Amino acid sequence: DAGVIQSPRHEVTEMGQEVTLRCKPISGHDYLFWYRQTMMRGLELLIYFNNNVPIDDSGMPEDRFSAKMPNASFSTLKIQPSEPRDSAVYFCASSFQAITDTQYFGPGTRLTVL
Amino acid sequence: GENVEQHPSTLSVQEGDSAVIKCTYSDSASNYFPWYKQELGKRPQLIIDIRSNVGEKKDQRIAVTLNKTAKHFSLHITETQPEDSAVYFCAAKGNNDMRFGAGTRLTVKP
Protein backbone atom coordinates (compact mmCIF):
# COMPACT_ATOMS: atom_id res chain seq x y z
CA ASP A 1 0.00 0.00 0.00
CA ALA A 2 1.24 3.50 -0.80
CA GLY A 3 0.23 4.84 2.57
CA VAL A 4 -1.84 7.95 3.10
CA ILE A 5 -1.66 10.22 0.07
CA GLN A 6 -2.10 13.96 0.24
CA SER A 7 -2.20 16.58 -2.47
CA PRO A 8 -0.93 19.08 -3.14
CA ARG A 9 2.31 18.85 -1.15
CA HIS A 10 2.75 22.61 -1.27
CA GLU A 11 0.19 25.32 -1.85
CA VAL A 12 0.78 29.04 -2.04
CA THR A 13 -2.25 31.23 -2.40
CA GLU A 14 -3.40 34.75 -1.78
CA MET A 15 -5.62 35.87 1.02
CA GLY A 16 -9.30 35.48 0.15
CA GLN A 17 -8.81 32.56 -2.22
CA GLU A 18 -10.40 29.17 -1.75
CA VAL A 19 -8.05 26.33 -0.88
CA THR A 20 -8.84 22.64 -1.19
CA LEU A 21 -6.62 19.98 0.33
CA ARG A 22 -7.05 16.36 -0.60
CA CYS A 23 -6.44 13.07 1.12
CA LYS A 24 -6.63 9.41 0.20
CA PRO A 25 -6.51 7.17 3.27
CA ILE A 26 -5.00 3.72 3.41
CA SER A 27 -7.37 1.23 1.84
CA GLY A 28 -9.48 -0.55 4.43
CA HIS A 29 -9.03 2.08 7.11
CA ASP A 30 -12.30 3.20 8.65
CA TYR A 31 -11.02 6.38 10.33
CA LEU A 32 -9.68 9.51 8.74
CA PHE A 33 -8.25 12.50 10.60
CA TRP A 34 -7.30 16.04 9.59
CA TYR A 35 -4.62 17.82 11.61
CA ARG A 36 -3.04 21.24 11.45
CA GLN A 37 0.50 21.93 12.66
CA THR A 38 1.98 25.34 13.38
CA MET A 39 4.88 26.52 15.48
CA MET A 40 2.56 28.52 17.70
CA ARG A 41 -0.20 25.98 18.27
CA GLY A 42 1.56 22.69 17.70
CA LEU A 43 -0.39 19.73 16.35
CA GLU A 44 -4.17 20.14 16.45
CA LEU A 45 -6.87 17.66 15.52
CA LEU A 46 -9.38 19.49 13.33
CA ILE A 47 -11.92 16.80 12.50
CA TYR A 48 -12.19 13.07 12.10
CA PHE A 49 -14.46 10.70 10.22
CA ASN A 50 -15.57 7.15 10.86
CA ASN A 51 -16.88 5.29 7.83
CA ASN A 52 -17.17 8.61 5.97
CA VAL A 53 -19.27 10.21 8.71
CA PRO A 54 -17.86 13.20 10.64
CA ILE A 55 -17.64 12.24 14.31
CA ASP A 56 -16.04 15.25 15.95
CA ASP A 57 -15.41 18.61 14.30
CA SER A 58 -14.86 20.57 17.50
CA GLY A 59 -11.30 21.31 16.41
CA MET A 60 -12.34 23.12 13.24
CA PRO A 61 -11.28 26.71 13.91
CA GLU A 62 -14.17 28.53 12.27
CA ASP A 63 -16.83 28.39 9.60
CA ARG A 64 -14.28 29.13 6.90
CA PHE A 65 -13.11 25.54 7.31
CA SER A 66 -15.12 22.61 6.03
CA ALA A 67 -14.32 18.94 5.45
CA LYS A 68 -16.04 16.24 3.50
CA MET A 69 -15.59 12.56 2.91
CA PRO A 70 -17.80 11.55 -0.03
CA ASN A 71 -16.48 7.98 -0.08
CA ALA A 72 -14.10 5.68 1.76
CA SER A 73 -11.11 6.61 -0.37
CA PHE A 74 -11.27 10.39 -0.54
CA SER A 75 -11.57 13.39 1.74
CA THR A 76 -11.19 17.13 1.29
CA LEU A 77 -10.47 19.99 3.64
CA LYS A 78 -11.57 23.33 2.26
CA ILE A 79 -10.76 26.81 3.47
CA GLN A 80 -12.87 29.62 2.04
CA PRO A 81 -11.84 32.40 2.21
CA SER A 82 -8.25 31.74 3.24
CA GLU A 83 -6.32 34.07 5.57
CA PRO A 84 -2.59 34.41 6.31
CA ARG A 85 -3.09 32.88 9.77
CA ASP A 86 -4.22 29.66 8.06
CA SER A 87 -0.64 29.10 6.92
CA ALA A 88 0.42 25.76 8.37
CA VAL A 89 1.18 22.16 7.51
CA TYR A 90 -2.02 20.16 7.21
CA PHE A 91 -1.74 16.44 7.83
CA CYS A 92 -4.23 13.75 7.00
CA ALA A 93 -4.04 10.44 8.88
CA SER A 94 -5.99 7.20 8.85
CA SER A 95 -6.42 4.29 11.21
CA PHE A 96 -7.87 0.83 10.82
CA GLN A 97 -10.92 0.39 13.01
CA ALA A 98 -10.65 2.73 15.98
CA ILE A 99 -9.30 6.13 16.93
CA THR A 100 -6.98 4.19 19.23
CA ASP A 101 -5.52 2.12 16.42
CA THR A 102 -2.20 3.30 15.04
CA GLN A 103 -2.72 6.44 13.03
CA TYR A 104 -0.68 6.63 9.85
CA PHE A 105 0.06 10.14 8.74
CA GLY A 106 0.33 11.40 5.19
CA PRO A 107 3.26 13.57 4.09
CA GLY A 108 1.34 16.76 4.76
CA THR A 109 0.41 19.81 2.71
CA ARG A 110 2.37 22.97 3.44
CA LEU A 111 -0.05 25.86 2.94
CA THR A 112 1.14 29.43 2.66
CA VAL A 113 -1.45 32.18 2.45
CA LEU A 114 0.04 35.51 1.41
CA GLY B 1 -12.29 18.77 26.84
CA GLU B 2 -8.86 17.26 27.33
CA ASN B 3 -5.79 19.41 28.04
CA VAL B 4 -2.29 17.98 27.69
CA GLU B 5 0.88 19.60 28.98
CA GLN B 6 4.32 18.36 27.99
CA HIS B 7 7.74 19.01 29.53
CA PRO B 8 10.45 19.85 28.80
CA SER B 9 10.09 21.75 25.55
CA THR B 10 13.71 21.06 24.68
CA LEU B 11 16.04 18.35 25.90
CA SER B 12 19.68 17.78 25.06
CA VAL B 13 21.48 14.61 26.09
CA GLN B 14 24.77 12.92 25.35
CA GLU B 15 24.71 9.82 23.21
CA GLY B 16 24.20 6.78 25.42
CA ASP B 17 22.38 8.68 28.15
CA SER B 18 18.67 8.31 28.92
CA ALA B 19 15.99 10.83 28.04
CA VAL B 20 12.68 11.30 29.84
CA ILE B 21 9.74 13.34 28.60
CA LYS B 22 6.70 13.93 30.79
CA CYS B 23 3.08 14.73 30.04
CA THR B 24 0.08 15.48 32.20
CA TYR B 25 -3.55 15.35 31.19
CA SER B 26 -6.74 16.74 32.67
CA ASP B 27 -9.56 14.40 31.67
CA SER B 28 -9.75 11.43 34.02
CA ALA B 29 -11.79 9.60 31.38
CA SER B 30 -8.86 9.56 28.95
CA ASN B 31 -7.91 6.01 28.14
CA TYR B 32 -5.35 6.01 25.36
CA PHE B 33 -1.95 7.70 25.29
CA PRO B 34 0.19 7.53 22.14
CA TRP B 35 3.63 9.00 21.57
CA TYR B 36 4.74 10.29 18.19
CA LYS B 37 8.17 11.06 16.82
CA GLN B 38 8.54 13.70 14.14
CA GLU B 39 11.85 14.23 12.38
CA LEU B 40 12.54 17.55 10.75
CA GLY B 41 10.33 18.10 7.73
CA LYS B 42 8.66 14.72 8.05
CA ARG B 43 5.35 13.37 9.22
CA PRO B 44 4.61 12.26 12.81
CA GLN B 45 5.03 8.54 13.36
CA LEU B 46 3.68 6.51 16.24
CA ILE B 47 6.50 5.02 18.29
CA ILE B 48 4.65 3.58 21.29
CA ASP B 49 1.29 3.84 23.00
CA ILE B 50 -0.30 2.78 26.25
CA ARG B 51 -3.86 2.19 27.34
CA SER B 52 -5.34 3.08 30.69
CA ASN B 53 -5.49 -0.50 31.92
CA VAL B 54 -1.69 -0.84 31.75
CA GLY B 55 0.93 0.88 33.91
CA GLU B 56 4.00 0.36 31.76
CA LYS B 57 4.90 -0.75 28.28
CA LYS B 58 8.31 -1.38 26.76
CA ASP B 59 9.61 -1.72 23.22
CA GLN B 60 13.37 -2.19 23.03
CA ARG B 61 14.93 1.12 24.10
CA ILE B 62 11.61 2.89 24.50
CA ALA B 63 9.23 2.63 27.44
CA VAL B 64 6.13 4.49 28.53
CA THR B 65 4.73 4.66 32.04
CA LEU B 66 1.26 5.77 33.08
CA ASN B 67 0.07 6.99 36.46
CA LYS B 68 -3.70 7.27 36.23
CA THR B 69 -4.09 8.61 39.75
CA ALA B 70 -1.75 11.48 39.13
CA LYS B 71 -2.85 11.80 35.50
CA HIS B 72 0.61 11.78 34.04
CA PHE B 73 2.56 9.59 31.65
CA SER B 74 6.17 9.58 30.58
CA LEU B 75 8.34 8.46 27.69
CA HIS B 76 11.71 6.94 28.52
CA ILE B 77 14.41 6.43 25.92
CA THR B 78 17.51 4.55 27.05
CA GLU B 79 20.91 4.37 25.36
CA THR B 80 20.03 7.33 23.17
CA GLN B 81 21.49 7.56 19.68
CA PRO B 82 21.87 10.54 17.34
CA GLU B 83 19.01 9.20 15.20
CA ASP B 84 16.70 9.63 18.20
CA SER B 85 17.00 13.38 17.64
CA ALA B 86 13.51 14.62 16.73
CA VAL B 87 10.43 16.29 18.17
CA TYR B 88 8.36 13.98 20.34
CA PHE B 89 4.65 14.53 20.95
CA CYS B 90 2.48 12.94 23.56
CA ALA B 91 -1.28 12.75 23.17
CA ALA B 92 -4.29 11.75 25.20
CA LYS B 93 -7.61 10.53 23.93
CA GLY B 94 -10.64 11.86 25.79
CA ASN B 95 -14.22 10.92 25.04
CA ASN B 96 -14.24 11.89 21.41
CA ASP B 97 -11.11 13.89 20.83
CA MET B 98 -7.35 13.53 20.79
CA ARG B 99 -5.23 16.31 22.28
CA PHE B 100 -1.52 16.67 21.74
CA GLY B 101 1.22 18.08 23.91
CA ALA B 102 3.25 20.98 22.55
CA GLY B 103 6.19 18.71 21.74
CA THR B 104 9.72 18.16 23.05
CA ARG B 105 12.69 18.77 20.81
CA LEU B 106 15.24 16.09 21.72
CA THR B 107 18.83 16.51 20.62
CA VAL B 108 21.27 13.64 21.11
CA LYS B 109 24.87 14.79 20.87
CA PRO B 110 27.37 12.28 19.52
Q: Is A84 helix (H, G, I), strand (E, B) or coil?
A: helix
Interface of B with A in 53-92 (CB under 8 A): 89
Tell me the per-residue pLDDT of A16-29, one tens digit each, with 9 for 90 and over: 999 999 999 999 99
Tell me the per-residue pLDDT of B20-47, one tens digit each, with 9 for 90 and over: 999 999 998 899 999 999 999 999 999 9
Question: Would you state the pLDDT for residue B97?
Answer: 76
Question: Which of A100, A101, A104, A109 best probes binding to B when mutated, by most B CB atoms within 10 angstroms?
Answer: A100
Question: Which of B37, B38, B98, B100 best probes binding to A when mutated, by most A CB atoms within 10 angstroms?
Answer: B98
Which parts of chain B register pLDDT below 50?
Answer: none
Nearest to B32 among A45, A55, A100 (CB): A100
B109 Cβ neighbours under 8 A, 6+ residues apart = B12, B13, B14, B15, B82
A104 Cβ neighbours under 8 A, 6+ residues apart = A3, A4, A26, A29, A93, A94, A95
Tell me the per-residue pLDDT of A65-110, one tens digit each, with 9 for 90 and over: 999 999 999 999 999 999 999 999 999 999 998 888 889 999 999 9
* A chain contacts of residue B46, beta-carbon cutoff 8 Å: 102-103
